[in-house]
Chains A and B, each alone.
Chain A
């Protein structure tokens, strides 16, 4: 690991000011991704700004009836918060599907959004990688790509975003609040992460020096018809091959509103509003669900090791929609998929 200097920030202003002045700075929160990457020399910050003492560790009601989750609220605290469990069980379920109890105790809301891809080549400075070293190429496209993306890829990068939490936030249409050298702004979660295009080294639309202060959940009515279905190589403590977050509002047997986000398949949580619209005002039937899945996956592109994900995603979408419509969400403890 490289040597670095360390500053414990005592205010958001101080953190932003110190970071803005120096491109080699990184914020550190739970450290569960940054320290990992530093141990592999993928990240080599000359200076770390410890933001864990900032007063961003509260979950508060918003005026509109939503919740504002401070950036330093741990994944554990968010998942078990009674208000989140009650009003946004999809988020609680997605967080509990990820990582381990130890990691969730350290991992934070802000850090989780900014965790980087688990692409094997990205993690190995002995290999080229456009995301790690722009312009060196993407060995994953012709190499090992079992965990890679099938949607929204580019010829420069086929990495996925590994977060489970972010997939639920995408379905819940959260807002990411940030503070930076130019003041505060709010970024809709759908615009927060980006597709790789020809700049795969840029994961998000956050600018250097900007700090996430909170994630805001708008008021929602999805606490009965939801599910987070995560498929992976082992049943716990493994990243998603494919995951599906579904939130439905039902009126009788018909779907009044549908939200669906996919994880493990793209450089960002994947939404397809056109596909969701196929459900609006329609009865919740298997045929409809298949039509939704086909629409979402119509442009999916597999590579040698990950083509199986297209079929897996199709079935996962249908199953997740059935679970949500029936009001029988996937349990994150009993791993049987019903």
Chain B
């Protein structure tokens, strides 16, 4: 059936409410706007990276309602009402998130392109509380590819934060 025969109404922008890094915004988005492109191209939040655009690398990882997802594989309209945290939202005031600091301490990046996705993924992983051993960290971070191969130091950084949380009696 051709488009002209379709009974569907013509696509138009829709109003959605998103809370991004703590700030609630009302936005008009077209149905086919992908969350990653909304963040980067419409809202100027270019910390979130586009690697593959097909769910295969994790560079676009953001945290939506507490869960890490690939923002390249989500339409923004479908997230109406959601709370979204990107790399720009992790620092509190002037203080880096402990995992951001741990990435610096452990030299857990080279070119840095995968890093925002790695850190968002790692922050969610720590919240999930399922990874205790290095093997578990590796497996549960396997959705984030690092072409520079900084994996060993990334695991070190995450282990540092999990260890610190452990000592804090979590």
Which A positions have Cβ atoms within 8 angstroms of B?
A: 1-6, 8, 21-24, 28, 30-32, 35-36, 39, 46-48, 50, 52, 76, 80, 99-103, 105-106, 236-237, 332-334
Contact = CB atoms under 8 A, between A and B. Distances in A.
9 contacts: A1-B32, A8-B80, A32-B70, A32-B73, A100-B143, A101-B140, A102-B55, A102-B143, A103-B70
A146 B78 CA distance: 36
B168 interface: no
Contacts of A48: 31, 75
B69 A106 contact: yes
Interface stretch (B4-12, B17-25, B90-98): B4-12
Contacts of A21: 7
B67 interface: yes
A276 to B, nearest CB: 31
Interface in B86-143: 121, 124-125, 128, 130, 133, 135-136, 139-140, 142-143
B8 A22 contact: yes
Contacts of A99: 143
A8 B80 CA distance: 10
> Which 3 A-B pairs have CB atoms at the shortest separation, nearest pair first?
A100-B143, A236-B142, A6-B31
Given A3-B11, A32-B55, A46 B3 contact: yes
Contacts of B125: 101
B75 A31 contact: yes
A332 B32 contact: no
Contacts of B78: 8, 28, 31, 50, 52
B121 A4 contact: no
Contacts of B144: 100
Nearest to A25: B8
A100 B1 CA distance: 37
A99 B61 CA distance: 14
A237 B138 CA distance: 12
Contacts of B124: 101
Given A47-B8, A50-B78, A52-B78, A102 B1 contact: no
Contacts of A100: 58, 142-144
A5 B31 contact: yes
Contact of A6 (B6, B11, B143): B11
B70 A106 contact: yes
- Give chain A's interface secondary structure class: loop
B135 A46 contact: no
A15 B55 CA distance: 27
B27 interface: no
B39 interface: no
Nearest to B58: A102
Contacts, number: 106
Given A46-B3, A103-B143, A332-B139, 15 more contacts: A1-B32, A3-B31, A5-B10, A6-B14, A6-B75, A28-B75, A32-B55, A36-B55, A39-B54, A46-B1, A101-B68, A101-B128, A101-B140, A106-B73, A333-B136
Nearest to B1: A24
B34 interface: yes
Of the candidates A2, A50, A101, A105, the one having the most CB atoms from chain B within 10 angstroms of its own CB is: A101
Nearest to B61: A102
A334 B137 CA distance: 11
Nearest to A331: B135
Interface in B30-53: 31-32, 34, 53
A6 B32 CA distance: 9
Contacts of B70: 32, 102-103, 106
A101 B143 contact: yes
B84 interface: no
A50 B67 CA distance: 19
B161 interface: no
Contacts of A2: 32
A46 B8 contact: yes
B61 A4 contact: no
Contacts of B143: 99-103, 237
Given A24-B1, A100-B143, A334-B135, A5 B9 contact: yes
B138 to A, nearest CB: 8
A106 B35 CA distance: 13
A4 B32 CA distance: 7
A220 to B, nearest CB: 25
B54 A36 contact: yes
B74 interface: yes
Nearest to A74: B67
A1 B73 CA distance: 13
Contacts of B130: 80
